Structure 1
Amino acid sequence: MRIAIVGFGEAGQIYAQDLAAVAEVVVWDKKFLASNPAPNAASEADNLRARAVQIGVRPAHSLAEALDGANLVFSLVTAASALEVAKQAAPLLTREQILLDFNSVAPDTKRKAAELVAKGEGDYLDIAVMAPVPPKRLATPLLLGGEQATVVAPVLTKLGCSAQAASERIGDVSAIKMCRSVMIKGLEALTTECLSAARQYGVEEAVLNSLHASFPSLGWDDRLPHYLISRVAEHGVRRAEEMGEVVKTLQDVGVTASMSQATQQVQARLPAKMQLKSLSYRDLTPFIWQDAVDRLK
């Protein structure tokens, strides 16, 4: 079994490393094309290629090379790049090759990607990743949609993934993921906004006590606030991009997306403040939400 992984970010690296134990894995990322920024300085491309070798996978020199001979092609890029990857991969795919689109985009975007792939010889599957890839890694729940879903789900399961065929139609599982994100990313944004203000007024303890009294099973008196705000601090840029697709998902069926548009703004705002303060997520770990809010005043 040969697997090509397109996109070598956090999720791509996790899937590559874990799948390397059970399959031959080749990886490709457009960042591999970057040149050295200065003499004697390692570029991001060099670092990424070195990381690939370190975890036991082969970095390709082009998308065509990565796809050559692959049985499954995992697309694990950003929402903004998902359609472009499908467009570039479509003429390169051969019979019995399947592009698995893991990206968090609107159902209509998945359907457009499927149409592009259908112009060639390969097949296409809509994959919805239903939880953060870390910490469960390969065990992260996956929903599969498309005509090949029932065929590919057991293959992924044998590789160590938690895969479930959920629909024969492209777009259904992405609709599930996008609608879920309204709530999950919205809760992260609401918590960030709520507790940032409470901290400024010096009433955060009373607010958290009240939240715990109303929802005692959620952990408002424990790690939940730290976790929710940390997700925005660490992944807000990517989450804001995903929320743009959520907004499109809602608008495509005539649902007003006011809350999701606000969530997108809050998800983007915290990382922007961190950048202005020259703070990385690593600078804020171990993550304590009160410390993060204080440092970002």
Structure 2
Amino acid sequence: MKIALIGYGEVGRILAEDLKGHELVAFDLKLGDERGNALREHAAGIGVRLGTSHVDAVRGAELVVSAVTASQAVAVAEACAAGLAPAAFFLDFNSASPGAKTRAAQTVNAAGGRYVEGAVMTSVPPYRIKVPLLLGGPQAAALEPVLAGLGFAPKVASETLGVASATKMCRSVMIKGLEAMVIESFTAARHYGVEDAVIASLKETFPGIDWEKQAAYFFQRVIEHGRRRSEEVREVAETVREAGLEPWSAAGTAERQAWVADLADAGLFGAKGTRDFARSPDWRTEADRILTHLKKAD
């Protein structure tokens, strides 16, 4: 099967590895600058052809998987439309609002493709291609067996476009919000020297959660992927706004995620991808780095 992967970041590379044996073509805007060196090396190592453009990558593909940053979901659909083969499936893996998914679908369907929204319901790396995936839209039922045959774990949420993404985005109000709250709460607690008391209290209230391990994981994920997560939560905020609510919580979460991403880009936490929180939880070190930075800023 010829499959085009639009977006060759963490998710795109995982999918490429798990789809080896198929004819794979990928495109990523980062290929145009120095960041593309690692992508080119990875693609060469597993036999993925790199396209020269969105249109080049999707031309002749039976399945297109769009896995880019949330803010680019509609733009990517527009950029790919001219190259789509008749009746090609376009799986939108992106964390975008129901409104954005609807706009992307209109573009793809008008070009003769078959748009299906995909809502990834948890972090991809632990599950890889088997990550729980909700499908939505009129073509979802037709794509489900195709994806299952490729090794995905799809489930049709609704033939109505927007239901799958709304499920994902409303969940993210909680999940991404909890990440931001833990970073804010635990860093402040570290400043006051009360982190052990705070964690003990949380364990008493939520005994099923290992707060030390969870905090380490949250710090790690936001430090490594805060930029992408902040863009996703801005789409979450738009989802809430589309429902008629003012997204106070989601908007604050997006700001906190972006703030940590700015610090990570400035090198505050060291080189990305070098910390192994699963083996050695160390959220305190990262909190101390933040507090030291804040003191210097004063």
Local SS of the residue matching 2:157: strand
Local SS of the residue matching 2:82: helix
1:281 matched to 2:290? The reply is no
Which of 224, 240, 246 matches 1:256?
A: 246
1:238 matched to 2:228? The reply is yes
Which of 278, 290, 297 matches 1:296?
A: 290
Cα separation, 1, equivalents of 2:225 and 2:285? 18
Cα separation, 1, equivalents of 2:273 and 2:68? 22
For the 8 Å contact 1:70–1:97, the answer to whether it is kept is yes
Q: Between the two proteins, what is the percent identity of the paired residues?
A: 43
Cα separation, 1, equivalents of 2:38 and 2:25? 16
For the 8 Å contact 1:3–1:72, the answer to whether it is kept is yes
> Aligned letter for 2:238?
K
In the other structure, the counterpart of 1:227 is 217
In the other structure, the counterpart of 2:138 is 147
In the other structure, the counterpart of 2:110 is 119
For the 8 Å contact 2:230–2:254, the answer to whether it is kept is yes
Query: How far did residue 233 of structure 1 move?
Result: 1.3
Query: How far did residue 245 of structure 1 move?
Result: 0.5
Cα separation, 1, equivalents of 2:41 and 2:74? 28
Cα separation, 2, equivalents of 1:241 and 1:91? 26
> Aligned letter for 1:229?
F
For the 8 Å contact 2:87–2:114, the answer to whether it is kept is yes
Cα separation, 1, equivalents of 2:216 and 2:173? 20
For the 8 Å contact 2:23–2:48, the answer to whether it is kept is yes
CA offset digits 1:211-233 (Å, max 9, x no partner) = 0011001112x411211222211
Query: How far did residue 210 of structure 1 move?
Result: 0.5
For the 8 Å contact 2:92–2:115, the answer to whether it is kept is yes
Alignment gaps of 5+ in structure 1: 35-42
Query: How far did residue 117 of structure 1 move?
Result: 1.4
TM-score, length basis structure 1: 0.92
In the other structure, the counterpart of 1:27 is 26
Question: 1:196–1:133: structure 2 CA closer, same or farther, 3 Å change rule?
Answer: same
TM-score, length basis structure 2: 0.92
In the other structure, the counterpart of 2:2 is 2
Query: How far did residue 64 of structure 1 move?
Result: 2.3
Cα separation, 2, equivalents of 1:236 and 1:26? 27
Cα separation, 2, equivalents of 1:44 and 1:197? 35
Over the aligned positions, Cα root-mean-square deviation in angstroms equals 1.5
In the other structure, the counterpart of 2:262 is 272
> Aligned letter for 1:33?
G
Cα separation, 1, equivalents of 2:138 and 2:109? 12
Cα separation, 2, equivalents of 1:44 and 1:206? 43
For the 8 Å contact 1:87–1:113, the answer to whether it is kept is yes
